[in-house]
Amino acid sequence: MSIALFIASFPVFSQDLNRLSIEDAVQKALENNYGIVTVRKSHEINELNNSWGNTGALPTVSFTGVGSESWNYNDNDDYTNSTLSGSVDLNWVIFRGFGARITKKNLEELEKMSEGNLAITVENTIVDVILAYYNILLTEKSMGIAKKSMSLSEDRYEQEKQKKQLGTSVTYNLLQAQNSYLEDQSNYLSAKSSYSNAKRQLNNLMAEDLNKEYIYISSFDIAAKDFELINLESKMLENNNTLKNQYVNLEMAKLEVKSAKSAYYPTVAVGASGGYSDSETDYDTNPDISSSGYNTSLNLSVSYSIYEGGSRRRALQAAKIEQEISEIETTEMQQELKNQLAQEFELYEVRQELLTLAEENLKAAELNLELSKQKYENGSINSFNYRDIQQLYSNTALNYQNAMYNLIQSYHTLLRLTGGVIDDYNSD
């Protein structure tokens, strides 16, 4: 499926009271994202330019019409001359060393490249929107964790104030509880600011009002898939859109060599012309004179440049060198992408394990926090121990959310490298 057809056929999801799923966000971006709209317009221009009319292969037809009237005054006899003529001319270069065919192929490759650029922009935008959406969910959960810590610190602060009033606590403990509460308030405000920024970033990608509010209904999770590196590498070499564009560059370099060779061929052109003319001369005394007639002509021309100071040979050598450079760049890009894929694949597997560990740590931290809260309230542990456990829980909860986001990021990076972003959403 071409990328333009994919955009046009993307499913429409219902919008209900500003409820926004990931699919809705992607749809909005595909329709309105400034980068996609701009690249789509450029692709339309290349589609229009890909025409035989832009290659010089088709004949040109022109019409010329002339009408004139003149007045002559002399001693013998005054007269008026009226002339009317028209002609249609056809010119056609029927052979120029296969140049027209090469130009048409070059226009086709330019259209492919513009479609490739559109595909790259669409893929990048889809991934950017997905990660921006998940970043909202991440910052929302981080804000919730910060709020929970702030609530626990507030409870502790209130308890210390009551103890201070009853004389069972000292000022030092009260100040420590207050400092912890203020610190958690600050963390909450920072998390709240990050949440607002994340929402604006997604709105910007969707080309929406930056301050528009949505209810984000997709869940913050991922169904991790198991990949095999050899299969991913095969898909990447076949489907990676950046690499596809490099293949187009290589093909265009080969066409430049053919174009340079075409300069060694002669140019053959034909022409045809047909016209009509009418002339009338009116004398004051002598008899009037009139004439009219049709004229046609055909011509064939052959031209060949025998010597141009070696410019054709140099142009051909330069084109061959450019082709060699393009081949080297293609090989280099393949190697770099293989290296990047191997790194991302390894990182993806590591992040799967890290997510499992983070989930186990979170369960332990939640249980530890609940038990520590009870011990603190009955005086089994002091406020410092309780604060340490509280911070440990907050850090563990944040680590779990970040581990989830990192795995989501790695998954979509692999999809982008292997050209599977669009196929993944077509299957969804």
At residue 280, does pLDDT exceed 90?
A: no
Quick check: is 41 in a domain? no
Quick check: is 273 in a domain? no
CATH code: domain of residue 123: 1.20.1600.10
Quick check: is 169 in a domain? no
Better pLDDT: 16 or 107:
107
At residue 268, does pLDDT exceed 50?
A: yes
The band of 12, judged by pLDDT with boundaries at 50, 70 and 90, is very low
Quick check: is 67 in a domain? no
Instruction: Note the pLDDT of residue 7.
Output: 53
pLDDT digits (tens, 9 = 90+) for 215-227: 999 998 887 788 9
At residue 403, does pLDDT exceed 90?
A: yes
Task: Kindly state the average pLDDT of the residues 17-39.
Answer: 91
Better pLDDT: 125 or 14:
125
At residue 286, does pLDDT exceed 80?
A: no
Instruction: Note the pLDDT of residue 38.
Output: 94
Quick check: is 94 in a domain? no
**Mean pLDDT value across the chain:** 88
Instruction: Note the pLDDT of residue 14.
Output: 47
Percent of the chain residues topping a pLDDT of 90: 61
Instruction: Note the pLDDT of residue 173.
Output: 77
Domain limits for position 389: 3-32+102-147+194-266+311-427
Give the closest residue to 257 by CA, choosing from 326, 308, 315: 315
Instruction: Note the pLDDT of residue 426.
Output: 61
| Structural domains counted in the chain | 1
pLDDT digits (tens, 9 = 90+) for 117-169: 999 999 999 999 999 999 999 999 999 989 988 988 888 888 878 877 777 66
Is the distance from CB of 136 to CB of 21 less than 8 angstroms?
no
Quick check: is 400 in a domain? yes
Better pLDDT: 316 or 76:
316
pTM for the model: 0.83
Quick check: is 53 in a domain? no
Quick check: is 65 in a domain? no
Angle at CA of residue 85, ends 83 and 87, nearest 5°: 170
Strand partners, 267: 303
